[in-house]
Structure 1
Amino acid sequence: MRGARLVRMGLVALIMPLSLGFDEIDCSAAKAFLAEDSNSTFYNPIIPGFHPDPSCIFVSEHNATFFCASSSFNAFPGIPLHASKDLHNWKLIDFLKLARVKELTEFSGIWAPTLRYHEEAFWIVTTLVDDEKDAADASRWDNIIFKAKDPYDLRSWSDAIHFEFEGYDTEPFWDDDGKTYLNGAHAWKVGPWLQQTEANLDTGEVGEWKTIWNGTGGMAPEGPHIYRKDGWYYLLAAEGGTGLGHMVTMARSNNIDGPYESNPANPILTNSNTTDYFQTVGHADLFQDHSGNW
C-alpha cells in the first residue's frame, strides 16, 4: 500500500506512509511523505469544533464518499455524521439522534462511536455512558448498535440494539470466515485489557468476552480497532490516558483471538513529551481510499 490516513481530535488529519508491516510503522516518515506529495496539503482542523475520537470509512458504492462519526459526550441531539469527497472539505450530514432521558454530566454521553460499512449497510457501534455511576457498575455502560442503508436519511437508521458489555469504545469486526466480532475496552479502574466476543449485531446477542491484549503497559488501553491484511490481524489501540501521555499503539496476530505481538516501534503516533501544537494525540482509526491506500 502506498499511503495511510490516520485521524484524531476535532478534527485534524495526518497522512502517513503505512503498509501495516511492523518494520515500516514509524511516525517520523509523515513529514517526508508530505514533503514529496505536494497534493496532500491539509489545513487543520479539517472539521472545526469539538469532534474527538473520529471513526472514518470510504464507501465507493455511495458516490465514492468518505464518512466520519465522532464522540459528542453530553452534547445533543446525538452522534454527528460528516461526509467528504476529498478529505479536505467536509459537510455535516446530520446527527444520529438519541432520546435524552436525563440531564448528563460533563463526561457522560456518547463515547467513541465506530463507523463501518459491511454488506451494503452502515453500522455504528458506540457506548452511551452515565459518568455519575461507578466504573464497575454495569449500568454505567449502555453499549448500542445502529444500522442503516442510507446515511443521509435519518429514517433509515435502526432503533438502538443493545448488547451486554461492562466497558466502552466498542467496535464491530467481520472476519473472512463469516464470523462477526465485537471488541471493547474497560475503565482503567476495572482492568487494563482489551476484550473480544463473537456477536450477532442484528440482535445484540454476544458470547463470552475474552481478553486479547493488555497493551504495552501504558495507562488505560482503549479504542481497539482490528484490521485484516495479508494474513495478519492488526490491532490498533490508544494508551496512556486521554491526557498528555496519550498515544497510538499497534499489535498483530495470525489469529483473531491472539496472542497479539506488540509492534517494537510502539507508540506509532504520539506527541507526548514534545512542544508540538497538537497534544493529547491518541485515539485513532485507519481506513482505505478509492485507490486502496490505507
Structure 2
Amino acid sequence: MSLVRNPVLPGFNADPSILRVGDDYYIATSTFEWYPGVQIYHSKDLANWKLVIRPLNRKSQLDMRGNPDSCGIWAPCLTHDGDKYWLVYTDVKRKDGSFKDTPNYIVTAPSIEGPWSDPIYINSSGFDPSIFHDDDGKKWFVNMLQDHRRRPRSFAGIRLQEFDMKTEKLVGPTKTIFHGTELDLVEGPHLYKRNGWYYLLTAEGGTGYEHAVTLARSREISGPYEVHPQNPILTSVDKPLAALQRAGHGDIVDTPDGKTYLVHLTGRPITQTRRCVLGRETAIQEAYWADDDWLYVKNGPVPSLHVELLGARDDTDYWAEKRYTFDKAGGLHQDFQWLRTPEPERIFTITDSKIELIGREAIGSWFEQSLVARRQTHFSYDAETVVDFSPTDERQFAGLTAYYCRFNFFYLTVTAHADGKRELLILSSEASWPEGRLKFPLAEPVQIPNEGKVRLALSIRGKRLQFSYALDGEQELKNIGPVYDASILSDECGGHLEHGSFTGAFVGMACSDLNGTELRAKFDYMVYRPAHHETDRYDV
C-alpha cells in the first residue's frame, strides 16, 4: 500500500464510473461535446491509470453536431455482467430552459477494447442512467426523472424499470424508488447488492460547491429506501478550505482482498473567486462497511487529498514535456480530441508529417469547427506550435487557442487585414455569456510578412496567460498582447456558471474560413510542457 495524492485522473474527467473485472480496474468518464465519446481508463493498482479507448468513435454511434456547450455525453456507466461489457450513457441535445432532451443508449462489447456495438436507444426520461445486473439474471435500468412542470428544479426522483435482453427494450411498470433528500437535485444513480440489501448511491446538491454523494438502502429493489444515518457520505460543502471541492457523483468498487473504494468527481479551485480551471476531476477514497451494514468513507465525509492505494503512483509521464508530431500511419495522438463531429476528415487530415486543418466555421461553432486540442491537466504550462497559413482577408484565421467553450477562449491567430496583408491578432471571449461576443477593444494587431511560417506560443502560470510568437528564422519568442486572466477558462465562468458548465480547459490548434472557401492551415507540431509555479497549491 502507498499514499497517493488525489486526483487520480487530473483535468476534465468528470462523473467517474468504476468497474473491476478480475485484477483489472476501469474508469469511464464523461466527455460532453468532445469527440470521440467517453474516456475509459485502465489500472492494475488504482493509482496509475492509462487511457485505453474512447468507444463512441463512429457516426453510427454518436453525432453531436448542433449540441450546445456542455451537452453531449453525460455520466457514462460501465458494467460487466460476466459475459460482456455494458456502457450506458446520455447524449444530451438540450439542457437550458424548462426542457431537456436526453436520449439514453446502451452499447456493449466482448472486451474493453471492443468492438463496441451500435447503440440501442432506451428512452429519454432523464439523464445519468445506469444498468444493474441482479443475481437472478434480471437487468434493471435506473435513471433520474426529468419533469419540466416542477419549479424551481425539474429533478423528480430516481426511476427503475426492467430491461429485457431479448427485445432490447424496457418492459413492465416504471416506479420512482427514491425522491432524494433535502440536498435536492438527485441524479447519477448506481445500484449494488450486498448481504441481502440493495444499495442506491446517488449524486445530490448539484454539481457545484454543494455537491454530495448520498447512500440509501432497501431489502427490495423497488424500495422503500432508507437514507444513510450520516448522510451525505461524501461532500466538501462544510469545508470551503479543503483541497478537494465540489465532491460528488460517486461509484464504488471492491478489491479482490475485500477493500472498498469510492471514486467521485471533484474540483481544485484557484484564485479567491474559486475557479476550477482543470474542470471536474476524478478522485478516489477508501471506504469501509461497518457492522451496521452501512458504507462509510474513511476520514469522511470530506474527501482526503491523500489516500492509501494498492500501488505507488509514477508521475514521470505526468510531468514530462509532450511534443506531438503528426504521422499518418500512427494517426492523431490519443491525447487529442475535437468537437462534436463524427466526420473528422472534414476538419483535419494528416499528410507530410503535418496536421492540416480545413477552415470551417468560426471558433465556438456548435456544428463544424476545425479545432484539435488536448486537456489542460496542470495549473501551469507552456504550449507552442508552428503554423503555415496564407489568409487573404479578416474572415480567415488560424492559430493557437486556450479554449473552454464558445463563451470563454483566448486565440492567437494568423489572419489578414482587409487589404490582404497578414497580421497576428488575438481574439478573446471572456465570460461573454449569453451573447458569446469577442471582447473589445481587441489587442493591437502585429503586421507580419505575407509568407512564411509563424511560431505561436502561450504560457499559463496559475491565472496569468501570456501569448508570444516568433517569425520564420527567429529563435527568440516575443510577447504579444496583454496578460489575460486564464482563470475564466473554468466551469465557474463557462457561460452557465458552475451548475451548467461541465467540461474543462483545452489547448490546441484551430482554423476558420468564414468565407466558405475551406482555406487550410498546416501545423508542424505541438508542444505541451508542464510547469511548476508557486500559485499551484494542490498540483499533483
How far does residue 214 in structure 1 lie from its aligned partner after superposition? 0.9
Match of 1:68 in 2: 27
Match status 1:281 vs 2:247: yes
Q: Equivalences for 1:1-294 in 2 at 5 Å?
A: 39-60=1-22, 64-96=23-55, 97=57, 98-131=61-94, 136=99, 140-153=101-114, 156-187=115-146, 189-201=153-165, 203-207=167-171, 208-274=173-239, 275-294=241-260
* Contact 1:192/1:219, CA 8 A, preserved across alignment: no
TM-score by length of 2: 0.44
**Partners of 1:158 and 1:135 in 2: how far apart?**
33
SS of the aligned residue for 1:168 comes to: coil
SS of the aligned residue for 1:41 comes to: strand
**Partners of 1:72 and 1:104 in 2: how far apart?**
13
* Contact 2:142/2:159, CA 8 A, preserved across alignment: yes
**Partners of 1:234 and 1:132 in 2: how far apart?**
29
**Partners of 1:202 and 1:105 in 2: how far apart?**
35
How far does residue 180 in structure 1 lie from its aligned partner after superposition? 1.1
Give the length in aligned residue pairs: 249
**Uncovered stretches (5+) of structure 2, i.e. residues with no partner:** 148-152, 261-540
TM-score by length of 1: 0.80
Q: Which amino acid aligns with 2:30?
A: S
Match of 1:12 in 2: none
Greater C-alpha Rg: 2
* Contact 1:107/1:131, CA 8 A, preserved across alignment: no
Higher strand share: 2
How far does residue 165 in structure 1 lie from its aligned partner after superposition? 3.5
Closer/same/farther in 2, CA of residues 53 and 259 from structure 1, 3 Å limit: same
How far does residue 87 in structure 1 lie from its aligned partner after superposition? 0.9
**Partners of 2:26 and 2:44 in 1: how far apart?**
9
SS of the aligned residue for 1:186 comes to: strand
Identity within the alignment, %: 38
Q: Which amino acid aligns with 2:12?
A: F
Higher helix share: 1
SS of the aligned residue for 1:194 comes to: strand
SS of the aligned residue for 2:5 comes to: coil
Query: Please, what is the CA RMSD of the aligned residues?
Result: 1.7
**Uncovered stretches (5+) of structure 1, i.e. residues with no partner:** 1-38
Match of 1:18 in 2: none
